Structure 1
């Protein structure tokens, strides 16, 4: 599989398997099937409540740890320096791993941004210790990323954001390229246009939109 080079020197597989909205009882078999289909990149989060099952699926796979890219995210309830340290340790315990390949702030705590900065500062120390090979943010605006860089002197390795044919976020992607931040799309097959309806409209669904189907 194609990989991209992060600003830390780590390689990230271009395509990942996300377990958002995967119930714990479904996650083990889903991730095992993904590994069997040759996915080597799994995205989970504390808020998904299935980190433990991702770790179980990895151990059942027989794959070497260095051959799999595992990322998780800190939820806003743990934002602050101390909270992030505890939250990260909790994620490692649930995963049953000594390190993660990437660790993210799940979203900004907009009304209490100092807590967000404290959490990211903790993450820089986690990365320096080698327990996270890269760190990043998710769902941050350009101004919020600038504030993180200004406060810590550390440029996030990646920014995860909703990105698909109906939401291209071109100015944000340009900012990322300028600062050597890799843009990672969450839900590139449609995101919220498909999550919250049982019957996504053809004109709003990348899997059925006529132009996209023609290209495919």
Structure 2
């Protein structure tokens, strides 16, 4: 998989530009001196091809899977006051392994400097946490940010509670409208939004950089 097939840097919304393709399809490199926002996926929870779909678009993808079709996910990179690069991923999707690899491969951000921000407890938005468990990565204390009801859900229901008990993840408390810093230049503010809240609250995120702001709301009911 070519890493730039599933990572798009939004220079208009955010904070800088790391690489893009020119009109001839050649990769062009640019200097990076600030925060960056990366689109790691854009699809609905079920992904593509979608289970049970017999339309031509799905049949073609079952025959020839597209490596750039991933469930909705954002990545943000920043630097600390000491110059270390840190990162945050918004959502832990069913495509989490390839999204994490694409995100880390460009910035060499170890898991101890990576946070995960969750929006709500529907499968496309948190089920990728399973890959942090001992059956897969066996991660240590990855920061996972969630709202109060969502944290209760993760700590009292398996298999997610095992991730907490074994120290694969370390749950961090989100409070609506209160900011969390990512590095020295970016802060994240959770915002409650209306949605089907069977197991948790639903939030979007206001992501504020030094010059621009992005709003990430993957699910909302009008």
Superposition TM-score, scaled by structure 1 size = 0.40
Tell me which of the two structures has the higher relative contact order, counting C-alpha pairs closer than 8 angstroms and 6 or more residues apart: 2
Superposition TM-score, scaled by structure 2 size = 0.39
More helix per residue: 1 or 2? 1
More strand per residue: 1 or 2? 2
